[in-house]
Amino acid sequence: MELIKTPLNDCFILKPKVFGDDRGFFFESFNQRVFEAVTGVSGIFVQDNHSRSQERVLRGLHYQIQKPQGKLIRVLSGRIYDVAVDLRKSSSTFGKHFGTFLSAEEKMQVWIPPGFAHGFVVLEGVAEVAYKATEYYTPEFEKCIQWNDPSLRIDWKIKGEPILSAKDKMGVPFKEAVYYD
């Protein structure tokens, strides 16, 4: 597994070693020892999540207070634009965001550490996204930042308006978000 740094502190892209031949391919999508050795991040994932969304569905920008989740994101089918926002006041990249394309074809993964907001949008057709989380989903601690907050200036790489859940339509401006120390 190769680690590719991003502009955000502690947020990485991970490129797995893929073994392919005329039958198809094989790769380890997760190995705790390799993950810890490559990233320096230790801990235990407690929950796996899987979503299926159609083109222009935007999920996010989500985060949890009191029980922040680290997330290891990958795409099982389709293509998305994935975004992380650093909410850690003590970080030199506080308030900054990073976005990257993820696809089933490329098999890249993104590590988003605890203390970040996360979101993604489906770019074409249908996409299935799977991610590991370091904390259990706790609805009473979940928060959402406006996907189109003007202070963040995120280019979501889509044409037209995104399709949002009722919860995501109620996201608060970044300046009203709850930050981490």
97 is catalytic: no
Residue 140, helix vs strand vs coil: helix
Residue of 63, 81, 131, 137 with catalytic role: 131
What is residue 178's DSSP assignment? P
Element of type H or E holding 166 = helix 166-169
Q: Tell me the two tokens of residue 76.
A: 């099982």
Residue of 50, 62, 118, 137 with catalytic role: 62
Residue 30 in contact with residue 111, Cβ under 8 Å?
Answer: no
Within 13 Å, how many C-alpha atoms sit on residue 27's CB side? 21
**Tally of residues, the chain:** 181
Region of residue 98 (phi > 0: left; psi between -120 and 50: alpha; otherwise: beta): beta
Using alpha carbons, select from 79, 75, 98 the residue that is nearest to residue 29. 75
* Residue numbers annotated as active site: 62, 131
